[in-house]
Each structure stands twice: as structure tokens, then as C-alpha cells.
Structure 1
Amino acid sequence: MSKAPSAFLVRITGRVQGVGFRMWTQEEAERLGLRGWVRNERDGSVTAMIAGSGEATAIMLKLLWTGPRGAVVSNVDAKAASAEAAPASFEITG
């Protein structure tokens, strides 16, 4: 897998709010050395920007399909994004 920087804007749907999904995402992202953010959306989904090495982003995209205990993920839609748009750390923004 590539160590070159990559970034994705990800929309996660299913039972992903009220189960600690944002905190879990932040913890996993920090463990993998990723930058970005995660937030709840009004429609019940969660959106995240993940940026880092190709290897780390690939692992995170797989992890998002599982989520924390209590989550039931029905879909993970990832679109390529600009790594420059990601903050220097990983933040919960909403």
C-alpha cells in the first residue's frame, strides 16, 4: 500500500449517531496518525474527512464499515479529497 498522502471525504450511514461514533473515529484516526475531522449531520449520518498515508487511509476506510460497539453501518461512501483541506490534527467538529 502507498505511503503517499491521500485524503477522503466520507459519509457513513446507518445507526451511527448516539453510539459514540465520532469519538471512536477520532481515537482510531489518531492511532493511525491521520488528520481530519468528523461530525454528525442533521439527516442522521456522520461525515468525516480523513487524510494521511495511503496505507492509513485504507485501513480507516475499512474500520468505518464496523464502527464502535452499538453502531450498525449500512454504507460508507468515500470520495477523493484534497489533503491540504485537512487540519493538522483530527477534530470532532459537530
Structure 2
Amino acid sequence: MTGTDENIVARRLTVHGRVQGVFYRNWTLAAARDLGLTGWVRNRDDGTVEVHVEGEAAAIERLVALAHDGPPAADVARIESEEVGAQGFDNFDKRQ
């Protein structure tokens, strides 16, 4: 591992509330890219939004803090967060 890789952490977020059909994935995509994070975001069949995010811990914490508000039409009830293994993504994408 290089020195940079040692600073990379990964989290899996599950966002609950009114987060589908309100541009939450697009908002997450833009916010993550602005923070220099990599990974992906997708809607889940249970109505939640799942996010796999990798990067520096401080940037991930900032994304999580912002994600509690999300886009204007969203109503986030809660965000579950768990540490996961980094997969080395090159960018941040939106998945189906």
C-alpha cells in the first residue's frame, strides 16, 4: 500500500426516509464527487438508498453530515453506516 492508500476508508450507508424519486442519487453523486470520494449510489427495492463510499475519513464524515439533509425534496429519517473493505474505485457512479 502507498501512503495515500493507508488513508482510504470505506463505508456502506443505508439512507432511510423519503429518498427515492426526489433526486437523492443525483444529489449524492454530485456531493461525493465534490468531496473527492469514489464508489457508487443506488436505489434499493425496500425504498432506501444504498451508498458505497471510499476516500479520506473526514470527507466521508462530511458526506454523511450533508446526506442527512440531501436534496430539498428529500426527507431523511436516518442513515445507517458500517465500515466495509475498500474496493479501489476510480470514480463515483450512479447504479440502477
TM-score range, shorter chain: over 0.9
Please name the residue that 1:13 is paired with.
16
Residues 13 and 76, structure 1, Cα contact 8 Å, conserved in 2: yes
Secondary structure (helix, strand or coil) at the match of 1:12 reads strand
What is the TM-score with the length of structure 2 in the denominator?
0.90
**Structure 2 letter corresponding to 1:43:** D
Q: Which is greater in Rg?
A: 2
Q: Which runs of 5+ in 1 are unaligned?
A: none
Moved over 3 A (4+): none
Please name the residue that 1:89 is paired with.
91
Taking a change above 3 Å as real, the CA distance of residues 79 and 90 of structure 1, as seen in their structure-2 partners, is same
Kindly tell me the number of residue pairs found equivalent between the two proteins: 91
Residues 37 and 86, structure 1, Cα contact 8 Å, conserved in 2: no
What is the TM-score with the length of structure 1 in the denominator?
0.92
**Structure 1 letter corresponding to 2:90:** A
* 1:1-94 map, 5 Å: 4-83=7-86, 85-94=87-96
Q: Deviations over 1:37-64 (max 9, x none)?
A: 0000011100000110111011011111
RMSD: 1.2
In structure 1, distance between residues paired with 2:37 and 2:17: 24
Q: Which runs of 5+ in 2 are unaligned?
A: 1-5
**Structure 2 letter corresponding to 1:91:** D
Deviation, structure 1 residue 86: 4.7
Q: Percent identity?
A: 34
In structure 1, distance between residues paired with 2:66 and 2:52: 14
